[in-house]
């Protein structure tokens, strides 16, 4: 049916809705990377820098092969996966155990599916608007609202801007801010981990990406970015789910907020004493120490 599931030795296993949508999301990321200019040194360097900053790539700078990011995708598999995602509600209803899931988990899966279809360049703005009217805030998690914001941004809709503003205002009322960082705290209830693999840092990453779509100049974007960086431990976050969504959000942040290649000379002073200078040219992550003068 185009869906994907977890590894099992059972013969009566079913495609898992979340896993299936997540795989389709992965394919969207791969297809997006396929559209990058082949051989672009800036593109390859930015990808390499991002992976090195999180210690997910232990190779030397510049050694990341293009094939590591650009993969061939089977057309039939992609078509079947998107068909499953489009019919996500009926696929959920066909599962014998989905009747035990909360409405919040169900609507979150449907929101994630719309987000993924938008990532595959489908116009799902009308469907996203209808889903929001049908569910309201009570049946949607914070990350589901983030997914809907991206879906609403995928095309034209008669009340698209109004719906985006309503959701955005609601989300801004849920954020916890300090002078430097911002974060959200949310929960699905008992089935949040079982069905949705939820975590707070994943929610922050999803909302960061959605804000970059609708209000990239907001200070919340920078604060959420700093908050995510602060939760990084030994170059990574707490789970593969967090790693995936955080890196996707930071990649978008990097290309939107830091798209200009650095080229300047920084001078260092301690009171009236000149300590030295350093030329910054290109996207580099090297560090050095100023010697005593």
pLDDT at 234 over 60: yes
Residues shown for the chain: 293
Cα separations in angstroms, 71 against 30, 32, 41, 67, 249: 7, 10, 18, 6, 21
pLDDT band at 32 (very low <50, low <70, confident <90, very high): confident
pLDDT at 44 over 50: no
pLDDT band at 289 (very low <50, low <70, confident <90, very high): low
pLDDT at residue 288, rounded to an integer: 58
pLDDT at 252 over 70: yes
pLDDT at residue 235, rounded to an integer: 87
What whole-number distance in Å separates Cα of residue 267 and Cα of residue 288? 14
In this structure, are strands 273-281 and 263-270 parallel, antiparallel, or unpaired?
antiparallel
Higher per-residue confidence, 136 vs 186: 136
Q: Rounded to two decimals, what is the model's pTM? A: 0.78
pLDDT at residue 55, rounded to an integer: 46
What whole-number distance in Å separates Cα of residue 49 and Cα of residue 154? 29
pLDDT at 68 over 80: no
pLDDT at 59 over 80: no
Give me the torsion for CA of 103, 108, 113, 119, rounded to 10°. Answer: 160
Query: What domains, with CATH codes, occur in the chain?
Result: 17-281 (1.50.10)
pLDDT at residue 65, rounded to an integer: 42
The model's pLDDT over 130-166, given as tens digits with 9 standing for 90+, comes to 999 999 999 999 999 999 999 999 887 667 899 999 9
Angle 5-96-130 from CA coordinates, rounded to 5°: 80
DSSP-assigned states of every residue in 265-277: EEEEEETTEEEEE
């Amino acid at each position: 049916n185009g869906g994907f599931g977890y590894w099992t030795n059972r013969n009566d296993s079913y495609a898992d809705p979340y896993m299936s949508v997540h795989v389709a999301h992965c394919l969207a990321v791969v297809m997006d990377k396929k559209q990058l200019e082949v051989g672009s040194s800036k593109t390859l360097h930015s990808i390499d820098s991002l992976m090195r900053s999180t210690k997910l790539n232990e190779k030397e700078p510049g050694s990341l092969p293009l094939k590591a990011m650009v993969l061939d995708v089977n057309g039939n598999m992609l078509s079947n996966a998107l068909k499953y995602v489009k019919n996500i509600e009926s696929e959920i209803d066909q599962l014998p155990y989905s009747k035990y899931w909360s409405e919040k988990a169900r609507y979150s899966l449907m929101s994630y599916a719309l987000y993924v279809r938008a990532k595959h360049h489908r116009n799902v703005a009308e469907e996203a608007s209808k889903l929001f009217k049908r569910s309201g805030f009570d049946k949607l998690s914070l990350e589901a609202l983030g997914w809907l914001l991206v879906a609403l941004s995928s095309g034209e809709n008669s009340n698209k801007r109004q719906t985006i503003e309503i959701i955005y205002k609601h989300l801004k009322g849920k954020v916890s801010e300090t002078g430097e960082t911002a974060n959200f705290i949310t929960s699905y209830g008992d089935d949040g981990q079982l069905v949705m693999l939820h975590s707070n840092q994943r929610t922050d990453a999803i909302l960061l990406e959605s804000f970059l779509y609708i209000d990239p100049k907001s200070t919340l974007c920078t604060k959420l970015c700093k908050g995510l960086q602060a939760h990084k431990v030994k170059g990574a976050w707490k789970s593969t789910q967090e790693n995936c969504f955080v890196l996707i959000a930071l990649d978008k942040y990097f290309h939107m907020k830091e798209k200009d290649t650095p080229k300047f000379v920084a001078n260092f002073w301690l009171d009236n004493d000149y300590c030295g200078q350093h030329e910054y040219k290109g996207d580099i992550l090297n560090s050095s120490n100023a010697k005593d003068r």
